[in-house]
Amino acid sequence: MSEQTVPRKENRMGTESIPRLLFSMAIPMMLSMMVQALYNVVDSIFVAKLSEDALTAVSLGFPMQNLLIAFATGLGVGINALLSRSLGEKNQKMVNESARQGFFLEMCAAVIFMLIGIFGAGVFIRSQTDIASIVPDAITYLNICIGVCPFCFMSIFFERMLQATGKTKLSMVAQMTGAIINIVMDPILIFGLLGFPALGVAGAAVATVFGQFCGAMVALFLHLKYNKEIHLSFKGFRPNGHVIGIILGVGVPSIIMASIGSVMTYSMNRILNGFTSTAVAVFGIYFKLQSFIFMPVFGMNNAIVPIIAYNYGARYPDRMKKTIKLACAVAMSIMFCGFLLMQTIPQVFLGFFDASADMLAIGVPALRTISISFLAAGACIIIGSTFQALGKGTYSMFVSIARQLVVLVPAAWLLSKTGNLNAVWFAFPIAEIMGVACTVGFFLHLNKTIIKPLEKAN
């Protein structure tokens, strides 16, 4: 169906021109994600000024933090996909039920992670290192960040509610509020400025939690005031197995897909620690730096899920295809720019973290080698979101498992046996080749079985 013949009374995701719709939704998300990336980097820059051990302590906590985010955002993907599809189908009852069942799932996950943060942080950190100057700070950092996590889950949930109805500018406001407050509070709490006590690594964790609290409150306010398409009420609430099953059908593969990154990071920390703790710190720095490049792509990623899901529900295949093509082109351009930066000025980026001579010797070849994988990653991320929007999240899960666990970690382990640390970094581009092959194969299958039949029906 052409865009001109779409009824005007529909949501803008079914009527507005694709370039304008995509960029109007994606740019606010991309900006807010960039701010998120900035506060992640700033957090580590300030911690690095304490010591390299402090930076390593934060890096060791990253897999657990990433796992928490994986659950919060993965559930958000499932909620968002069902909400957007229900909006496209004009099924208001399912829209409302999706929201309240989704919130219930997010809070259940938050309680589980609180318990892990309080009682399991020590076991997790000691499984990676036994260095006495690192372990206490790493445990404290996780006790706070994971033990006080409900606000993180709340902020992500209400941001997804705004995104599902196309209000990405409001979602951006909520995300940026939390991130900016975190950035401001970091030096104050880490170094003890303006009369506050100097908390060191613990200060970075407190600043993170406080930022999440502020972001959650802003997101809740904006949802209640402006998100009139979704009525979130818990009167007579009961868990609905059918709706929960639909959300988890898309959300669980997304959770597993993102959680695989935590398993990979944890495994890489153990492999790299066999060389030197500085290699672990470099790997942590890489993840902070690459977020500047990946976060805008993830912003585009978040924008296309509701657009594709809505138009899939409304049976507009042309709009789906235009969205996918444009998003892939933008994502690939962003990733190519990131590749060029990592190849030309890696020492400048490492210098932000007060890199020692040893860290530069390890970090420069690491960033240059790993960034080779950027060249194909953009399109793979966008197409993976397409799988999720079409209810085929298991495809994305399979690709992530193949790339990170079947290929990357075993390749890194085998390359580590050469005794050459620089060889280990080649596991990343090797794994990306597997990811591209799987992604292309799955997309060709979906194009044949889902998109083309819709075109014929129209």
DSSP 377-421: HHHHHHHHHHHHHTT-HHHHHHHHIIIIIIIIHHHHHHHHTTT-H
**Residue 403 in contact with residue 434, Cβ under 8 Å?**
yes
In this prediction, residue 2 carries a pLDDT of 43
Number of neighbours of residue 5 by Cβ within 10 angstroms: 8
In this prediction, residue 11 carries a pLDDT of 64
Cβ-in-10-Å burial (0-12, 13-18, 19+) of 419 comes to exposed
| Residues 319-364: tens digit of each pLDDT | 888 999 999 999 999 999 999 999 999 999 998 888 888 999 999 9
The SS3 assignment for 166 reads coil
* Per-domain residue ranges of the chain: 8-457
**Residue 62 in contact with residue 268, Cβ under 8 Å?**
no
Query: What's the rounded Cα separation, in Å, for the pair 167 and 172?
Result: 9
In this prediction, residue 1 carries a pLDDT of 42
In this prediction, residue 10 carries a pLDDT of 56
Query: What's the rounded Cα separation, in Å, for the pair 39 and 47?
Result: 12
**Residue 306 in contact with residue 12, Cβ under 8 Å?**
no
Torsion of CA 188, 281, 31, 231, to 10 degrees: -80
Helix axes 135-147, 92-119, angle to 10 degrees: 150
**Residue 100 in contact with residue 235, Cβ under 8 Å?**
no
Number of neighbours of residue 150 by Cβ within 10 angstroms: 18
Q: 359-391 burial by CB neighbour count: b if 16+ within 10 A, else e?
A: beebbbbbbbbbbbbbbbbbbbbbbbbbbbbbb
Which of 454, 102, 145 lies closest to 311 in space, CA to CA? 454
Positive or negative, the Cα torsion across 120, 126, 128, 131? Answer: positive
Which of 322, 283, 298 lies closest to 378 in space, CA to CA? 298
Quick one: tokens of 29? 């998300």
**Residue 405 in contact with residue 434, Cβ under 8 Å?**
no
pLDDT < 50 regions, the chain: 1-8
Quick one: tokens of 181? 């407050």
Residue 363: half-sphere exposure toward Cβ, Cα within 13 Å: 29
Query: What's the rounded Cα separation, in Å, for the pair 108 and 193?
Result: 37
